[in-house]
Amino acid sequence: LKLKSHFIALQFVIIYGIMLEYEKSGELKTKSIDLLNLSSSTDVSALVEEIQKAEPLITASQSDQVKLLIQRLQDKLRQHSNHKFYLFKVLRAHILPLTNVALNKSGSCFITGSYDRTCKVWDTASGEELHTLEGHRNVVYAIAFNNPYGDKIATGSFDKTCKLWSVETGKCYHTFRGHTAEIVCLSFNPQSTLVATGSMDTTAKLWDIQNGEEVFTLRGHSAEIISLSFNTSGNRIITGSFDHTVAVWEADTGRKVHTLIGHCAEISSALFNWDCSLILTGSMDKTCMLWDATNGKCVATLTGHDDEILDSCFDYTGKLIATASADGRSPVHPFNWLDKHV
């Protein structure tokens, strides 16, 4: 949602905050206000008063605008609380099984990777196939949009290469060569200047998407890398490995900052929470662990599953963790991120 006044534009970025855009000495600046505690029963007038007290950028004349935005946000929350999911469409996508699916930020388009060595681009509403990205010589296993921009796609393949494509035309910009085994995970950095790839060759590589060249090789794991992600400012990258550890790297130097040691089997997932203060790791050892992202210390171990953890994630507020396990049960763990207490 976007409302413009003569001076400040207010915009919701995610459902739990407001973004202020303002001009100061000719420069456009932004500032965000978190509304993590907002619920459909929050007293809006009291909340706006509180925000105004803490935020001198919002003048009395703008408080009505803010109130309106928060009320609309509450309406959204109400809709979400009784949201029902239903089957929208079934597409016959590829002649061989799919490996992965990814949506662009607005959800109006999505991509599928397949054992048929292609990645296809689809229009979500109509189900129309927009492009087939052909060129890999083996399974297309890892795929991603450069969200939030959504104009590029990266595909990682068992053919050991990663390719960068234009969403609009389906043209291949670059083929990144250098890994000596299958690529199984990848990610754009948030600025969309780099692609990181993780491989069965035990390394991760960073690639420059402008010139197509390798920037760094992240060496240090002693087994396959199967998961990687950037923090939201793009200066840290974490890699999860079958060597039972997760490594934290400086993205602008390739230097290893921490090794998260504690799991006693292969890592299956590794990711940051919303503000990148915590790292969540899932493992074949049937547990998840939470780590302090700045010092690399373990702050909690989540137990309860009877079999390997296959995937894990935070919700957007960072208050809940969901885990998927080979034991067939998916508990949701409530946890207070302020206290870091599970």
Return d(Cα 226, Cα 224) in angstroms, integer: 6
Q: Which stretch binds ligand NAG (CB under 6 A): 10-18, 111-119, 231-239, 304-312?
A: 231-239
At residue 41, the 3 state secondary structure works out as: coil
* Residues in 187-216 at the binding interface with ligand NAG, rule: CB under 6 A: none
The verdict on 253 binding ligand NAG (CB under 6 A) reads no
The verdict on 180 binding ligand NAG (CB under 6 A) reads no
What is the side-by-side strand order in the sheet with 236-241?
Answer: 225-230, 236-241, 246-250, 256-260
The verdict on 104 binding ligand NAG (CB under 6 A) reads yes
Comparing CA positions, the residue from 338, 284, 293, 337 lying closest to residue 312 is 284
* Residues in 260-279 at the binding interface with ligand NAG, rule: CB under 6 A: 275-276
CB of residue 294 vs ligand NAG: minimum separation in angstroms?
Answer: 5
Comparing CA positions, the residue from 156, 193, 192, 153 lying closest to residue 177 is 156
Instruction: Judge contact between 62 and 2, C-beta under 8 A.
Output: no
Closest CB to ligand NAG among residues 150, 220: 150
CB of residue 131 vs ligand NAG: minimum separation in angstroms?
Answer: 10
The verdict on 288 binding ligand NAG (CB under 6 A) reads no
Closest CB to ligand NAG among residues 5, 191: 191
The verdict on 232 binding ligand NAG (CB under 6 A) reads yes
Q: Which stretch binds ligand NAG (CB under 6 A): 61-69, 207-215, 232-240, 281-289?
A: 232-240
Name the residue with the smallest CB distance to ligand NAG: 150
Comparing CA positions, the residue from 227, 222, 205, 223 lying closest to residue 214 is 205
CB of residue 180 vs ligand NAG: minimum separation in angstroms?
Answer: 29
Element housing 52 (H / E):
helix 44-54
Within a 10 A sphere around the Cβ of 129, how many other Cβ atoms? 13
Q: Is the bond preceding 148 in cis, omega lying within 30 degrees of 0? A: yes
* Residues in 127-156 at the binding interface with ligand NAG, rule: CB under 6 A: 150
Contacts with ligand NAG by CB under 6 A: the residue count is 17
Comparing CA positions, the residue from 115, 111, 190, 102 lying closest to residue 157 is 115
CB of residue 170 vs ligand NAG: minimum separation in angstroms?
Answer: 11
Exactly one of 106, 132, 301, 303 binds ligand NAG (CB under 6 A); which one?
Answer: 106
Tokens representing residue 217 in the block: 């090789």
Comparing CA positions, the residue from 114, 159, 147, 150 lying closest to residue 132 is 114
Report in angstroms the alpha-carbon separations of 245 from 195, 271, 296: 22, 13, 12
Exactly one of 109, 206, 270, 290 binds ligand NAG (CB under 6 A); which one?
Answer: 109
The verdict on 231 binding ligand NAG (CB under 6 A) reads yes
CB of residue 135 vs ligand NAG: minimum separation in angstroms?
Answer: 20
The verdict on 293 binding ligand NAG (CB under 6 A) reads yes
The verdict on 294 binding ligand NAG (CB under 6 A) reads yes
Comparing CA positions, the residue from 231, 184, 233 lying closest to residue 205 is 184
Q: Which residues bind ligand NAG (CB under 6 A)?
A: 37, 104-106, 108-109, 150, 167, 231-233, 235-236, 275-276, 293-294
